Amino acid sequence: MEGKGVTAEESPSPGRDGIERRIDTRSAGADAASAADMDESMAAPEGEREADAGESAPREPGDPEPGNPEPGDPEPGDPEPGDPEPGDPEPGNEVALPGAWQRSRVRVDARLLEATLLNLRKRIAAIPLVFDIRGADEVSAERSKLLSQIDDYLLPRVRQSAAPILVALVGSTGAGKSTLVNSIVGTQVSLTGVRRPTTNSPVLACHPDDIGWFAENMFLPTLPRVRQEGLARPGRDGLLVLAASEGMTKGVALLDTPDIDSVVRAHHDFAYQFLDASDLWLFMTSASRYADAPVWEILQHARERGAALGVVLSRVPPSHRTELVAHFGAMLDANGITANNRFVIPETGIVDGMLPADIFQPIRDWLTETAHREDRRVAVLSQTMAGVLDTFKVRVPKLAAHVDAQVTLRAGLRRAAEAGYATALEEFETGTRDARLLRGEVLARWQDYAASGDLGAALRGRRSGHKSGRRARKGVGPTRSAALDSALRTAVQALVASVADRAAEQVTRGWRADPAGAALLAAAEAARARDERAKREFESAFGTNPDGPAAKQPTFDRCSPDLPPRVARAVSAWQDQLMRLIQHQSASKRAGGTGAAEPLSLVTLVAMLGEPSDPADAPWPAEPASAASTAGTADTDEIVTVPRELLTSILGDAESGQLISKAREDLSNRVRLLLDEELLRFVEVLDAAEPVDPVAAVRLYQAEYSLEAAR
């Protein structure tokens, strides 16, 4: 029974595992004509169908016998238009696959198509789905569907185009699918009953000569299967039951799937999985259920996939047949469901669990013709495979766009963290200018040190009444220089800790504003909490620190608990380096002795902290000012001007400026390293997640393009 508008030609050469097939695709006018004839076919008497609904019209007297060509027709040995030319794919490696319905006589190299499908599968399986962004669940489900369609249908069908046609019988609860299967097969292979749903595991009925194809892992390779022995019995969910019967036509298999509207979610998912692995869909619904939402969901899925489709309306009361068939046909047409073969099964008695022969025979004949007529077989395979591949042109780019969004999100989170700590460094550099730290305790300690005469005496290389030798801040007992040194170090360390805290808070707030960033932080904090509990339990069990205080739980919105001691070490190392710079410059100038290096380092630090942000705002003159000119300045001006004047008088204007610049650059570099270590906390959170390949989307686009080119 050939669908309207579909013609086919069969090449005399055998195909890869199939045949080199060339198909004339349907025209839009033929589609419209066939759609207009559907209602009439459904309204045919019980068990009968009009010829224009897909059945071959009776041969008129004088028509040539099948297989006998008209005079003038080409002889079997004559070359036909479109026969392989030199350089075309070798016969035996081609499948019928129109890339678009407007192209006719399309020949596809099966090996090339298989290679491009494998490449696309590899790219789809490798895409990173790391972050919980909008649409992540849908994309994850779509990736699984794409992989399932490639593994379960496309690759097996491309590799074995001559394999039996798989017809999936799908429909709503109580439509009588199992009864129809048993009737077509001629024996009970699928359980029937009043319990809903009756079919809890799919049953595949085929001829014994075809069962090898379905028993191998080529078909639905991940699905476990078992061969049915004896009478049908309840199966196990997730298990495919193979039933071989001589009553089935060779070259076609009928799959009884679980109900699409089953309350068991696994049954619903199972039905869709088998639909995606089938060549032909036979949809079945009852007169009382055809308007239900699940019915139209599955029909819309069939339309979107472009699958070859047949429709059965069952349990139709004879008294309302005309109205029900017309209404169902109108709904099909209104929803754009183009089913060239529509069948009606009236409400009738069941004999030994089977339908009367005249009721199911039209459906059986249709399946037989589809399996035996090469043109019909090619048309079905071409339509379904092309329909699946056509959906890839939309679905794969959507997947690639989501991968791009993943890459963009990761880069955005990384940039947000880097920007937060870059701002922290800028705040630190700003805080060490304009005398912002030369207040409070630092100002009081400076005034005490300068007014006591200890500073002047130390700069002249004299002892100031306290132990000399090692640096005063390491000496015993509080001194004025040690007090100033301590106040300066405390101020610098507090500034570093405060800018690090603000950076951590800023980055954490930005990440938590994004659901993906919030999920990453929550997972990292939970992992830290688990590690800390495990550590405490270990210490409690082995007595290493059973009564010690619990460690402070680190949080991302504050700096690391160990940052203050690291800052103290960094500032101390910086001061040591500053001492060495001063000793080097003092030796070259022969200014003071080695004992003057310590007070001079304090003066340099105070002068550096007093530098203005804009050099044009410098309060000191270019030449050293006299003591008389500075005697009447205010305290706040004195701590800014006096240290620079002292440095200039000892080292010179240029040398003192260079010393301050080197000291500032060294301190800034050390603080930058500290902040980079703080930034690593957030980088490690990103790295702990699955890596995101920045070119994964490009590879997806390229794989899809290669597939289209191969078609």
- Per-residue pLDDT reduced to its tens digit, 113-149: 999 999 999 999 998 888 878 888 899 989 999 998 9
- Other beta carbons within 10 Å of 134: 11
Helices (H) then strands (E): counts for the chain:
22, 12
The CATH code of the domain that includes 209 is 3.40.50.300
Asked if the structure places residue 550 within a domain, the reply is no
Residues 174 and 37 in one domain: yes
- Separation CA 397–CA 192 (nearest Å): 44
Residues 395 and 436 in one domain: no
CA atoms within 13 A on the CB side of 173: 15
Residue closest to 581 by CA, chosen among 646, 665, 672, 640? 665
- Which backbone phi and psi does 13 adopt, to 5 degrees? -85, 140
Tell the burial category of 79 from Cβ atoms under 10 Å away from its Cβ (0-12, 13-18, 19+). exposed
Residues 386 and 471 in one domain: no
pLDDT score of 470? 45
Residues 193 and 290 in one domain: yes
| Strand residues in 317-358 grouped as ranges (E) | 341-346
- The stretch 537-560 carries a mean pLDDT of 70
Asked if the structure places residue 698 within a domain, the reply is no
**pLDDT digit string, tens, across residues 620-678:** 444 444 443 444 345 567 888 888 898 888 888 888 899 999 999 999 999 999 999 99
pLDDT score of 35? 35
For 190-216, give the DSSP string: S---SSSS--SS-EEEE-GGGHHHHHS
Give SS3 for 18: coil
Domain that holds residue 42: 7-55+88-401
Asked if the structure places residue 116 within a domain, the reply is yes
- Separation CA 394–CA 185 (nearest Å): 39
Residue with tokens 């920045």: 694
Residues 121 and 41 in one domain: yes
Residue closest to 182 by CA, chosen among 350, 362, 310? 350
pLDDT higher than 90, residue 474: no
pLDDT score of 505? 95
Tell the burial category of 141 from Cβ atoms under 10 Å away from its Cβ (0-12, 13-18, 19+). exposed
pLDDT higher than 50, residue 82: no
SS (H, E, C) 110-165: HHHHHHHHHHHHHHHHHCCCCCCCCCHHHHHHHHHHHHHHHHHHHHHHHHCCCCCE
Give SS3 for 280: strand
> What is the tally of structural domains in the chain?
2
Asked if the structure places residue 600 within a domain, the reply is yes
- Separation CA 101–CA 574 (nearest Å): 76
Residue closest to 249 by CA, chosen among 331, 314, 167? 167
Asked if the structure places residue 375 within a domain, the reply is yes
Q: Are 201 and 239 in contact (CB under 8 A)?
A: yes
Q: Are 269 and 155 in contact (CB under 8 A)?
A: no
